[in-house]
Structure 1
Amino acid sequence: MAGADRGPDWSARERPAGGPPRVIVIGAGLAGLATGCYAQMSGLETRIFEKHVLPGGCCTAWSRHGYLFDYCIDWLIGTAEGTGAHQVWRELGALDGKSVTHFDTFNRVVDEHGRSVTFHTDPDRLEAHLLALAPGDAAPIRAFCRDLRRFAAIDLPWDLTPPPLRTTRERLRTLRAVLPAFRLLWRTATTPMSGFAQRFQDPLLRRALPTMFLQEPAGFPLLPYLYTLAAAHTGNAGFPQGGSLGLARSVEERYTSLGGVIGYRCRVDRILVEDGRAVGVELRDGTRHFADHVVAACDGPTVLDRLLRGRYSSPATDRLYGELLDRPGNLYPAVVSAFVGVDGPLPPREPHCTTYLLAPEDAGRLPGSLQHSLVVQLRSAYAEGFAPPGKSVLHCTYFSDYRSWRELRVRDRRAYRARKQQVAEFVREFLDRTHPGLGARIELVDVASPVTTERFTGNTRGSILAWQAFSEAEDTANRLVNRDRMRLPGLSGFSMAGQWASLGGLIRAATSGRYAAQYLCRELGRPFRAWPSDNREPWHPGKWGHLPQLDRVTVGAAEPGAGE
């Protein structure tokens, strides 16, 4: 893949006369790669500096003894052709040559007594299932499924242009699409899911509905539940071949095919500023690289506090990274992941994903559990190449607090590793209880804590998705994108992209890179250009490239990986 020493020399302060404007992008996550792709398509010359050895940021995977542990994607919005989100992925080459797995079941929820509810993506099948399960709740069941059919029938546009740059034609097209569904959108956006769930008499449905998204995003209204379930039904929320790292590698391939250059193991130490203008970056090794514009597509607090030395901010960033950062409900919670390697097949006829609601005694044994639930995904049952022949892999996750993990790692590394061991032991015992005999076939358990996420991706608080929609942070993030145009006052030649400057989610991260390039083209007086990738080479495992082991791993029936 692209290396740190490839590409033209950018150590000179001035670029060659007549050459295209140069852009440095910090971070090779989806937002950084997208920024680079769109800038290259628009005739700019770009370089991306990435501290890690892989692209994708949190959209990643790693290898352990022949297993591939895919970290990010549960479902991907934009897999249906003809949608605006799909257009973004086509322009970025993200789905080139890939098949997409679609699920007729979004999730199953099982309570501590073994009673279960299955959230089918088909509204008719879901309604029949729920009515059979809880006939006394016929009224709210029919209301929910009726709204689900309405969401499946409307074609909500994906905003390909930031609001300040939209033409009158684009605005009218959005209005024509949204106005007929306005009452539906307004009503479901102002109805909290927690409140709606309380309308149900059945205790399982009251608890299960908010965890339809595997775990409960606090404060979410009905709208995103209906939108996402409808997207899964219409084929717009599938799982792409190659998974998370495969998605990142495809966009990386698109970027380099457009002439972009990526430097891996290139940690940016600071952004160089002269007379109120960003002019380049200085890497940790002391080398300096100069450009006409710098785009920071990485962790927001790190950009402002470390890379800019605390010298620049805005009312929006002050509120996001100061006031709202520690206020509950604004950041997506951190996640603990336990990847389980199994000798032999997975249990037959099981849904691809199940949320288990834990009894108090179980929840008390799961370190740092925030919601007393555990999600179990049968990853190798629907994704090829994730396990060696004859073996299987599961991905178990739960929302967890960041601070207790961080404090323990700082204070006592041995105790920190012991806590990860507790997670591994719980997962092994729990899987053996829910699927008798499975525990004896477990070959390894690899645990990634919120601190692991922070160490390898730089994401503050170990939050994978950063700012949560429908929170206090949403309006402020929208101001940063739309009113401030992803800029900071008093600092020219600089902009931000990614989920720390907008909202969480892969399609939003990719779209923020599109916005950053559009704003930059407008500033430079150059036309913004974008077109679909024409790469038709079928996806194959070789496209994952070299998969680092990252850290030493201890293998055993109940032992987690020792990587921190």
Structure 2
Amino acid sequence: MSREHRPVWERRPGRAPGEPPRVIVVGAGIGGLSTGAYAQMSGAETRIFERHVLPGGCCTAWSRQDYVFDYCIEWLTGTGRNNDAARLWRELGALDGKTVAHFEMFNTVTDETGRSVTFYNDPDRLEAHLLELSPADARPIRAFCRDLRRFIGINLYPFLTPPPLQSPREKLRTLRAVLPSFVTLWRTAATRMETFCARFQDPLLRRAFPFIFFQDHEVFPLLPYLFNMASAYHHNAGFPQGGSLGLARSVEERYLGLGGRIDYRSRVERVLVEDDRAVGVELRGGERHYADHVVSACDGATTLQGLLGGRYASPRTDRLFTELAEEPDQLYPGVVSAFVGLKDELDPAARHSTTYLLSEADARALPGCMQNSLVVQLRSRYSDGFAPPGKSVVHCTYFSDYASWKQLRRTDRKAYWARKQEVADFVRGFLERHHPGIGRAIEVVDVASPTTTERYTGVRGGSILGWKSFTPADDVITGLINKDRLRLPGLDGFTLAGQWFGGGSLIRAAASGRFAVQYLCRDLGLEFRAWESGGTEPWHPGKLGRLPQLEKRRVT
């Protein structure tokens, strides 16, 4: 909606009896869309202001030459049925009318010599495969697969209600789910993956296990690996049709269908505060909109230092953004993505996802490469519509240092583009080495750096996932949700949501919106309500809408 035709939410003297409360949400990422949808379901009148032209934040896509480059989702927790994560997505309409792609393995890891290990989700198949690779490692192999079988029997997805608001019945249900598996959960949460890997004699297995999730998450214990592999076994960690932007578009459609509205190209400059109460927002250009409550679901540092001018904080937000943000291993690094459009079909026998452990020479040649690894995903296998008929898309990613990309773009734009070209050239050569003949089929290569992510989404440091789980930051976020109730002391009428305050994954970002509305319903005198969308219209690629091109200039 253009500014010329956008009505202003004027200040009103007071809410009349029966008049719905107004809620402004800053940011149309998954956390913001979730907040808006649940507030609409609960009887509020909401409005979302978004700086970009698309919903979803980092959950996005863009196009080149009729190819769709899907940026975010590798798997989505909650694509199945009969668990809380699935219920949340179905309340938000995220999976309406969609098929879901499920894969029999999470990832394949290949070392410099060509040896490979495949991480099947079926524990029996995984155990047989690993024992064939390294019979000498029977003890740790059987231990891991035994735990995977135990996790397959666990169905715990606490994404519906924050603990302070759970009824005695809900708490009892959670307790019953946790107690039988408490020892397994505690032990696997206390065992670092790197500690477990030291038990392997085979060098490939010792190096490969941390890359089950494509890149080494470094601080993770065993628990999340087992949890997600078990979810995939149950078809509860698949890839939804339409991918990342498709997910955002579906939640956007659900929100708009509930009567909400989104103003795109509308950058919020500050939150309006009177007598320590948030009363509205001011947009770039000076336009002001007033509401009974404001929810910020955008970048965390932008919220605290930009929108609020550094005037309000809590011990927990101070710990997150002034202490932990500067410590190593608390934030996910930035990501470099190289999308490759091919004019041919992909080899049907090729794995859908492979992490290649790079030689020292290759790692030096790949600009800003961390962890000496490159992930290659055959994205055309994930969903229809990512490539024109008869063509394919490959997505190559690696963790990379944000600061070096940022400095180069700020000081030497020509060198910045030359560095992107180095990535494109490396990817072309690397794919040709591992898939001979593929070079002749490449039509386009598009490279996005961590600074690209920051520029188009506003996310701090180009970090798609934000805070790492199983770190002190995770504990602080738990306190922010359960103790502070997503509020800042001394500031009324204001709530926090999104990945920076609810945790760094799509399901946790969506849950933060649900939690935020459950808390604010009490303040606004509303009954929290939620129900599944039930939409049945089949998904099709046209629902993605018009896709932008992130850069006018491109690598070749």
TM-score tier (shorter): over 0.9
Q: 1:553 Cα deviation (Å)?
A: 4.2
Q: Is the 8 A contact 1:6 1:263 kept in 2?
A: no
Please name the residue that 1:17 is paired with. 16
Please name the residue that 1:398 is paired with. 398
Q: 1:105 Cα deviation (Å)?
A: 1.2
Q: Is the 8 A contact 2:357 2:373 kept in 1?
A: yes
Matched, 1:169 2:169: yes
Q: 1:53 Cα deviation (Å)?
A: 0.2
What amino acid does structure 2 have at the position aligned with 1:447? V
Matched, 1:533 2:538: no
Partners of 1:439 and 1:15 in 2: CA distance: 66
Q: Is the 8 A contact 2:26 2:298 kept in 1?
A: yes
Call closer, same or farther: CA 1:73–1:3 in 2, change over 3 Å.
Answer: farther
Partners of 2:308 and 2:218 in 1: CA distance: 33
Partners of 2:13 and 2:344 in 1: CA distance: 60
Q: 1:11 Cα deviation (Å)?
A: 2.5
Partners of 1:141 and 1:321 in 2: CA distance: 40
22-31 or 538-547, which deviates more: 538-547
Mapping 1:152-551, distance limit 5 Å: 152-551=152-551
Call closer, same or farther: CA 1:389–1:4 in 2, change over 3 Å.
Answer: farther
Q: Is the 8 A contact 1:140 1:200 kept in 2?
A: yes
What amino acid does structure 1 have at the position aligned with 2:542? G
SS, match of residue 454 in structure 2? helix
Partners of 2:13 and 2:287 in 1: CA distance: 16
Partners of 2:324 and 2:472 in 1: CA distance: 8
Partners of 2:253 and 2:159 in 1: CA distance: 25
Please name the residue that 1:71 is paired with. 71
Q: 1:3 Cα deviation (Å)?
A: 6.0
Call closer, same or farther: CA 1:5–1:542 in 2, change over 3 Å.
Answer: farther
TM-score (norm 1): 0.97
SS, match of residue 365 in structure 2? coil
Unaligned runs of 5+ in 1: none
Partners of 2:10 and 2:290 in 1: CA distance: 6
Q: Is the 8 A contact 1:64 1:553 kept in 2?
A: no
Q: 1:77 Cα deviation (Å)?
A: 0.2
Q: 1:546 Cα deviation (Å)?
A: 1.2
SS, match of residue 324 in structure 1? helix
Deviation readout 1:459-507 (Å, 9 max, x if unpaired): 1011000111101101111111111111111110001001100210000
Partners of 1:550 and 1:69 in 2: CA distance: 11
Partners of 1:267 and 1:152 in 2: CA distance: 45
Q: 1:17 Cα deviation (Å)?
A: 2.8
Q: Is the 8 A contact 2:11 2:291 kept in 1?
A: no
Q: Is the 8 A contact 1:5 1:263 kept in 2?
A: no
What amino acid does structure 2 have at the position aligned with 1:26? V
What amino acid does structure 1 have at the position aligned with 2:219? G
Deviation readout 1:107-137 (Å, 9 max, x if unpaired): 0000000000011111100000000000000
Mapping 1:22-61, distance limit 5 Å: 22-61=22-61
Call closer, same or farther: CA 1:257–1:20 in 2, change over 3 Å.
Answer: same
Partners of 2:541 and 2:474 in 1: CA distance: 38
Partners of 1:168 and 1:16 in 2: CA distance: 34
Call closer, same or farther: CA 1:550–1:369 in 2, change over 3 Å.
Answer: closer
Equivalent pairs, count: 555
What amino acid does structure 1 have at the position aligned with 2:416? Y
Q: Is the 8 A contact 1:380 1:393 kept in 2?
A: yes
TM-score (norm 2): 0.98
Call closer, same or farther: CA 1:104–1:4 in 2, change over 3 Å.
Answer: farther
Call closer, same or farther: CA 1:534–1:348 in 2, change over 3 Å.
Answer: closer
Matched, 1:145 2:148: no
Partners of 1:257 and 1:110 in 2: CA distance: 46
Call closer, same or farther: CA 1:23–1:138 in 2, change over 3 Å.
Answer: same
Q: 1:157 Cα deviation (Å)?
A: 3.6
Partners of 2:37 and 2:443 in 1: CA distance: 41
Q: Is the 8 A contact 1:110 1:116 kept in 2?
A: yes
Call closer, same or farther: CA 1:134–1:67 in 2, change over 3 Å.
Answer: same
Partners of 2:249 and 2:304 in 1: CA distance: 28
Partners of 1:35 and 1:172 in 2: CA distance: 27
Partners of 1:240 and 1:541 in 2: CA distance: 12
Q: 1:538 Cα deviation (Å)?
A: 0.5
Call closer, same or farther: CA 1:211–1:74 in 2, change over 3 Å.
Answer: same
Deviation readout 1:56-98 (Å, 9 max, x if unpaired): 0000000111000000000000011111000000100000000
Partners of 1:351 and 1:181 in 2: CA distance: 33
Deviation readout 1:447-466 (Å, 9 max, x if unpaired): 00000000011110110001
Deviation readout 1:243-286 (Å, 9 max, x if unpaired): 00000000000000000000000000110000100000000021
SS, match of residue 452 in structure 1? helix
Deviation readout 1:333-374 (Å, 9 max, x if unpaired): 211000001111112301100000000000001111110000
SS, match of residue 502 in structure 2? coil
SS, match of residue 537 in structure 1? coil
Call closer, same or farther: CA 1:535–1:8 in 2, change over 3 Å.
Answer: farther
Unaligned runs of 5+ in 2: none
59-68 or 381-390, which deviates more: 381-390
Q: 1:14 Cα deviation (Å)?
A: 3.7
Q: Is the 8 A contact 2:39 2:46 kept in 1?
A: yes
Q: 1:522 Cα deviation (Å)?
A: 1.4
Deviation readout 1:220-256 (Å, 9 max, x if unpaired): 0000000001111111100000000000000000000
Q: 1:5 Cα deviation (Å)?
A: 6.4
Partners of 1:159 and 1:409 in 2: CA distance: 39
Partners of 1:398 and 1:157 in 2: CA distance: 29
Deviation readout 1:380-416 (Å, 9 max, x if unpaired): 1231100112211100000011100111111111111
SS, match of residue 289 in structure 1? strand
Q: Is the 8 A contact 1:32 1:497 kept in 2?
A: yes
What amino acid does structure 2 have at the position aligned with 1:414? K
Deviation readout 1:405-428 (Å, 9 max, x if unpaired): 111111111111111111110000
Partners of 2:14 and 2:545 in 1: CA distance: 33
What amino acid does structure 1 have at the position aligned with 2:421? Q
Call closer, same or farther: CA 1:16–1:495 in 2, change over 3 Å.
Answer: closer
Q: 1:8 Cα deviation (Å)?
A: 5.6
Partners of 1:114 and 1:536 in 2: CA distance: 45
Partners of 2:296 and 2:331 in 1: CA distance: 20
Q: Is the 8 A contact 2:246 2:543 kept in 1?
A: yes
Mapping 1:128-139, distance limit 5 Å: 128-139=128-139
Q: Is the 8 A contact 2:88 2:159 kept in 1?
A: no
- How much identity, in percent, do the aligned residues show? 66
SS, match of residue 57 in structure 1? coil
Call closer, same or farther: CA 1:171–1:5 in 2, change over 3 Å.
Answer: farther
SS, match of residue 405 in structure 2? helix
